[in-house]
Amino acid sequence: MVHGGDKFDQPIRIDARVLNELRAFIRFAPLHLPQQLAVIEAVQQRFATLPQVVCFDTAFFRPMPEIAQRFPMPQFLWDAGVRRYGFHGLSYESIVHSHPMAKQGRVIIAHLGNGCSMTALLDGRPVETTMGFTPVGGLMMSTRSGDLDPGVLVYLMDHQKYGPREIERLVNEESGLQGVSGLSGDMQTLLSVEGDNHQAALAIAMFCHGVRQQIGAFAAVLGGLDRLIFTAGIGERAASIRSDICHGLHHLGIVLDEAANAMNSSRISTVQSTCAVEVILTNEELMIARHSAASFAAGMSRA
């Protein structure tokens, strides 16, 4: 489940109480939670005795320092749950679980797919992330805008007569790679025409610039960088995007091995690179299965 609010920081067995509490979080993720809750309820109706476990994409980030979770806004909004939650947590957890070196030192993981986010880890614990209150924040994505100056939204309301639903559609479905290119939100499609299509080339350049910028910001938070990991669809398969992102990051000790990068090798930095750059396949489904098995085992031991 995409959102566990400020309450759920561990996978949990579904019961009537948990389901009611989850319904209260719909206001935080109205595009995701209604459909996810509908699936849970449909399974309950069809298989009344089948236990269900819910795993939260936000849970991974609950240990983040308060300074990273807070927005510079009044206390009553923090108390109401307005904060940086972070998303793609199961993906990051998968990388940390499968790759022991991700638990050591200063690490940035870039989950670049249809949705994109990054997180900074210090000895395996998250200290910063790009996505914020909702999954639309942070990096430019396939159809999502990422972070915006709030004044843009005020302008849209005051001068373009946008209402909440129009803004929601704009920032979720009509922006990002799709919005800039005017062609597609699919990176492979844009790469196939970038030589002849200025808008496609601009969208790709903006995407790489934004990721590169965020790597620099996270390296500042971490006090340096020991390891950069790419994962998810674009991160795992788009060699030219990884190359463009890493271009100009020599000051962080990143030296790409272009031949290894072109082959999507697991390590794509040279032996001279003081920062290891790697490509690791994420497996969120496996993490969900492991959490579910652990939850069932815990329930049986208590019984």
Closest CA to 280 of 233, 225, 231: 231
Token pair for residue 286?
């496996």
Say how far apart CA 16 and CA 31 lie, in whole Å. Answer: 22
Give 101's contacts (C-beta < 8 A, 6+ positions apart). 227, 276
**Alpha carbon of 237 to those of 89, 113, 209, 249, 271: distances in Å?**
21, 10, 18, 20, 22
Strand partners, 277: 228
The amino acid sitting at 218 is: F
SS (H, E, C) 201-248: HHHHHHHHHHHHHHHHHHHHHHCCCCEEEEEHHHHHHCHHHHHHHHCC
Active-site residue (options: 6, 57, 123, 244): 57
Whether residue 57 lies in the annotated active site: yes
Closest CA to 106 of 279, 278, 275: 275
Give 229's contacts (C-beta < 8 A, 6+ positions apart). 95, 99, 102, 107, 108, 109, 110, 277, 278, 279, 280
Backbone torsions φ then ψ of 122, nearest 5 degrees: -120, 110
Name the residues annotated as catalytic.
57
